[in-house]
Amino acid sequence: MFEDFRLRIFLTVAQEGGFTRAASVLGITQPSVSQNIAELERLVGVKLFERQRTEVILTPAGRIFKDYATRI
């Protein structure tokens, strides 16, 4: 079962385009954001983000997951 906060972290990272920016918006640390996203990816069994040097981009699976997470 997914925690509501973990979905909120996922959606914030997707919206902000980065873990550090999402951490700032959510008022938590960047390592906490990274840990929660890694755990979420482990739970769903797919990579949700492509990590690049200055930003993260949703993978195709991440875009599908975002649609579901937004509805929840």
Longest dimension (CA), the chain: 31
Place of tokens 């700032």: 24
Q: How far apart are CA 23 and CA 41, in angstroms?
A: 18
Report the relative pairing of strands 56-58 and 49-51 from DSSP bridges: antiparallel
Structural contact between residues 18 and 56, judged by C-beta atoms closer than 8 angstroms? yes
> pLDDT at position 2, please?
56
pLDDT, tens digit only, all 72 positions of the chain: 456 899 999 999 999 999 999 999 999 999 999 999 999 999 999 999 999 888 899 999 999 999 999 998
Give the single-character DSSP code of 27.
T
* pTM of the predicted protein model: 0.91
> pLDDT at position 53, please?
85
